[in-house]
Amino acid sequence: MASLRLGVVADTHVPDRCRALHPGLVPALQQAELEQILHAGDISVPRVLRALEAVAPVVSVRGNRDWFPHADLPLHRVLEFAGKRIGFTHGHAGLWPYLGDKINLMLRGPRNFDHYARRAIAALPEDVDVVVFGHNHAPMNRVVDGKLVFNPGSACRNVVKDMGPSFGVLELGAEVRGEIIYL
Protein backbone atom coordinates (compact mmCIF):
# COMPACT_ATOMS: atom_id res chain seq x y z
CA MET A 1 0.00 0.00 0.00
CA ALA A 2 1.37 3.40 -0.97
CA SER A 3 1.64 5.86 1.86
CA LEU A 4 0.00 9.26 2.02
CA ARG A 5 1.58 12.22 3.80
CA LEU A 6 -0.37 14.90 5.66
CA GLY A 7 1.07 18.04 7.17
CA VAL A 8 -0.20 19.01 10.61
CA VAL A 9 0.05 22.62 11.81
CA ALA A 10 -1.40 24.24 14.91
CA ASP A 11 -1.24 27.44 16.89
CA THR A 12 0.19 29.74 14.23
CA HIS A 13 -1.11 32.78 16.18
CA VAL A 14 -0.51 35.38 13.48
CA PRO A 15 -0.47 38.27 14.44
CA ASP A 16 -1.47 37.93 18.10
CA ARG A 17 1.69 36.10 19.25
CA CYS A 18 3.84 36.04 16.11
CA ARG A 19 4.01 38.80 13.51
CA ALA A 20 4.13 36.33 10.60
CA LEU A 21 4.49 32.64 9.91
CA HIS A 22 7.90 31.27 10.82
CA PRO A 23 10.07 31.81 7.70
CA GLY A 24 10.99 28.13 7.60
CA LEU A 25 7.45 26.73 7.83
CA VAL A 26 6.25 26.98 4.21
CA PRO A 27 9.57 25.74 2.70
CA ALA A 28 9.63 22.80 5.15
CA LEU A 29 6.02 21.91 4.29
CA GLN A 30 6.87 22.08 0.58
CA GLN A 31 9.85 19.81 1.08
CA ALA A 32 7.66 17.26 2.93
CA GLU A 33 5.65 16.50 -0.26
CA LEU A 34 2.19 16.57 1.33
CA GLU A 35 -1.22 15.62 -0.01
CA GLN A 36 -3.05 17.88 2.42
CA ILE A 37 -2.49 20.05 5.49
CA LEU A 38 -4.55 19.89 8.68
CA HIS A 39 -4.56 23.07 10.76
CA ALA A 40 -5.63 22.33 14.33
CA GLY A 41 -6.73 25.85 15.23
CA ASP A 42 -5.55 29.22 16.48
CA ILE A 43 -5.14 30.36 12.90
CA SER A 44 -6.07 33.93 13.82
CA VAL A 45 -6.05 35.54 10.32
CA PRO A 46 -7.07 34.26 6.84
CA ARG A 47 -3.65 35.00 5.29
CA VAL A 48 -2.22 32.07 7.27
CA LEU A 49 -4.53 29.62 5.50
CA ARG A 50 -3.79 31.23 2.13
CA ALA A 51 -0.04 30.79 2.69
CA LEU A 52 -0.52 27.12 3.61
CA GLU A 53 -2.88 26.54 0.65
CA ALA A 54 0.02 27.49 -1.64
CA VAL A 55 1.60 24.20 -0.48
CA ALA A 56 -1.41 21.85 -0.36
CA PRO A 57 -5.17 21.94 0.30
CA VAL A 58 -5.93 22.88 3.93
CA VAL A 59 -8.66 21.65 6.27
CA SER A 60 -8.95 23.36 9.63
CA VAL A 61 -10.83 23.51 12.91
CA ARG A 62 -11.55 26.49 15.16
CA GLY A 63 -9.25 27.32 18.04
CA ASN A 64 -9.85 29.56 21.02
CA ARG A 65 -8.25 32.51 19.16
CA ASP A 66 -10.37 32.02 16.03
CA TRP A 67 -13.32 34.25 16.90
CA PHE A 68 -13.51 36.18 13.65
CA PRO A 69 -13.36 35.50 10.72
CA HIS A 70 -13.07 31.77 11.50
CA ALA A 71 -16.12 31.52 13.79
CA ASP A 72 -17.82 29.28 11.22
CA LEU A 73 -15.15 26.57 11.49
CA PRO A 74 -16.19 23.47 13.45
CA LEU A 75 -14.57 22.60 16.78
CA HIS A 76 -13.96 19.00 15.61
CA ARG A 77 -13.67 17.11 12.34
CA VAL A 78 -13.27 13.48 11.37
CA LEU A 79 -11.66 12.82 7.98
CA GLU A 80 -10.66 9.63 6.22
CA PHE A 81 -7.41 9.24 4.29
CA ALA A 82 -5.94 5.97 2.99
CA GLY A 83 -8.51 3.98 4.98
CA LYS A 84 -7.53 5.66 8.27
CA ARG A 85 -9.91 7.85 10.26
CA ILE A 86 -8.34 11.01 11.64
CA GLY A 87 -10.18 13.05 14.23
CA PHE A 88 -8.91 16.50 14.91
CA THR A 89 -9.77 19.31 17.25
CA HIS A 90 -7.99 22.29 18.71
CA GLY A 91 -8.26 20.96 22.26
CA HIS A 92 -9.75 23.88 24.16
CA ALA A 93 -13.21 22.20 24.14
CA GLY A 94 -15.18 25.43 23.86
CA LEU A 95 -15.57 28.56 25.95
CA TRP A 96 -16.37 27.18 29.43
CA PRO A 97 -13.63 24.54 29.64
CA TYR A 98 -11.20 27.11 28.24
CA LEU A 99 -12.15 29.64 30.92
CA GLY A 100 -11.85 26.88 33.55
CA ASP A 101 -8.32 26.20 32.34
CA LYS A 102 -7.46 29.90 32.63
CA ILE A 103 -8.74 30.02 36.22
CA ASN A 104 -6.83 26.82 37.03
CA LEU A 105 -3.67 28.36 35.53
CA MET A 106 -3.97 31.42 37.78
CA LEU A 107 -4.69 29.37 40.92
CA ARG A 108 -2.58 26.23 40.46
CA GLY A 109 -0.29 26.70 37.48
CA PRO A 110 -0.31 24.93 34.12
CA ARG A 111 -2.15 21.67 33.65
CA ASN A 112 -0.32 18.46 32.88
CA PHE A 113 0.16 18.02 29.13
CA ASP A 114 -1.78 14.73 29.28
CA HIS A 115 -4.87 16.67 30.41
CA TYR A 116 -5.19 18.15 26.91
CA ALA A 117 -4.58 14.79 25.20
CA ARG A 118 -7.37 13.18 27.27
CA ARG A 119 -9.68 16.08 26.45
CA ALA A 120 -8.97 15.73 22.71
CA ILE A 121 -9.54 11.96 22.80
CA ALA A 122 -12.85 12.45 24.64
CA ALA A 123 -14.04 15.06 22.13
CA LEU A 124 -13.78 12.70 19.16
CA PRO A 125 -15.54 9.44 18.20
CA GLU A 126 -13.96 6.27 19.52
CA ASP A 127 -13.53 4.77 16.05
CA VAL A 128 -10.73 7.08 14.91
CA ASP A 129 -7.21 5.81 14.27
CA VAL A 130 -5.51 9.15 14.94
CA VAL A 131 -6.34 12.01 17.30
CA VAL A 132 -4.81 15.35 16.27
CA PHE A 133 -4.96 18.38 18.55
CA GLY A 134 -3.15 21.60 19.39
CA HIS A 135 -3.87 24.29 21.99
CA ASN A 136 -1.20 23.63 24.62
CA HIS A 137 1.82 24.26 22.32
CA ALA A 138 3.45 21.01 23.47
CA PRO A 139 4.42 18.45 20.81
CA MET A 140 3.14 14.91 21.42
CA ASN A 141 3.52 11.81 19.28
CA ARG A 142 2.30 8.87 21.35
CA VAL A 143 0.09 5.79 21.01
CA VAL A 144 -2.71 5.73 23.60
CA ASP A 145 -5.18 2.83 23.68
CA GLY A 146 -4.24 1.83 20.13
CA LYS A 147 -4.62 5.35 18.67
CA LEU A 148 -1.89 7.71 17.62
CA VAL A 149 -2.34 10.88 19.67
CA PHE A 150 -0.55 13.68 17.85
CA ASN A 151 0.05 17.33 18.67
CA PRO A 152 2.43 19.09 16.27
CA GLY A 153 3.25 21.78 18.82
CA SER A 154 3.02 25.43 17.90
CA ALA A 155 4.24 26.71 14.56
CA CYS A 156 4.73 30.00 16.43
CA ARG A 157 6.13 29.20 19.88
CA ASN A 158 6.25 26.02 21.98
CA VAL A 159 5.88 26.09 25.76
CA VAL A 160 8.74 23.74 26.56
CA LYS A 161 11.95 25.68 27.23
CA ASP A 162 14.54 25.55 24.44
CA MET A 163 12.06 23.93 22.04
CA GLY A 164 11.48 26.00 18.93
CA PRO A 165 8.39 26.18 16.75
CA SER A 166 7.30 22.94 15.16
CA PHE A 167 4.83 21.22 12.85
CA GLY A 168 4.11 17.59 12.13
CA VAL A 169 3.82 15.05 9.35
CA LEU A 170 1.52 12.05 9.46
CA GLU A 171 2.39 9.17 7.17
CA LEU A 172 -0.58 6.92 6.49
CA GLY A 173 0.07 3.49 5.04
CA ALA A 174 -0.25 0.01 6.48
CA GLU A 175 0.63 1.74 9.75
CA VAL A 176 0.20 5.32 10.88
CA ARG A 177 3.35 7.19 11.86
CA GLY A 178 3.81 10.71 13.08
CA GLU A 179 6.89 12.91 13.05
CA ILE A 180 7.46 16.24 14.78
CA ILE A 181 9.64 18.62 12.77
CA TYR A 182 11.31 21.56 14.54
CA LEU A 183 11.92 24.80 12.69
Taking only the tens place, the pLDDT of each residue in 16-47 is 888 899 999 999 999 999 999 999 999 989 99
Residue 103, judged by CB atoms within 10 A of its CB (0-12, 13-18, 19+), counts as: exposed
Q: pLDDT confidence of 178, banded at 50, 70, 90?
A: very high
The mean pLDDT value for 75-80 works out to: 95
Domain boundaries, the chain: 4-182
Residue-level pLDDT at 113: 66
pTM beyond cutoff 0.75: yes
Contacts within 8 Å (CB) and 24+ apart, 107-111:
110/159, 111/136
Indicate the range of 1-5, 26-30, 50-54, 133-137 predicted with least confidence. 1-5
Q: Which tens digit of pLDDT belongs to each residue from 91-127?
A: 887 777 777 777 777 787 666 668 778 888 888 988 9
DSSP alpha helices (H): ranges in the chain? 25-31, 46-53, 95-108, 113-123
pLDDT at 17: 80
pLDDT at 1 over 60: no
Q: How far apart are CA 40 and CA 49, in angstroms?
A: 12
Query: Which CATH number does 4-182 carry?
Result: 3.60.21.10
First-last CA distance in the chain: 30
Q: Spell out the long-range contacts of 143-151 with Cβ–Cβ below 8 A and sequence spacing 24 or more.
A: 144/117, 145/121, 147/121, 148/176, 148/177, 148/178, 149/117, 149/120, 149/121, 150/8, 150/178, 151/10, 151/40, 151/91, 151/116, 151/117, 151/120
Tell which wins on pLDDT, 21 or 160: 21
User: pLDDT at residue 86 above 60?
Assistant: yes
Beta strands at 147-151 and 130-132: parallel, antiparallel or unpaired:
parallel
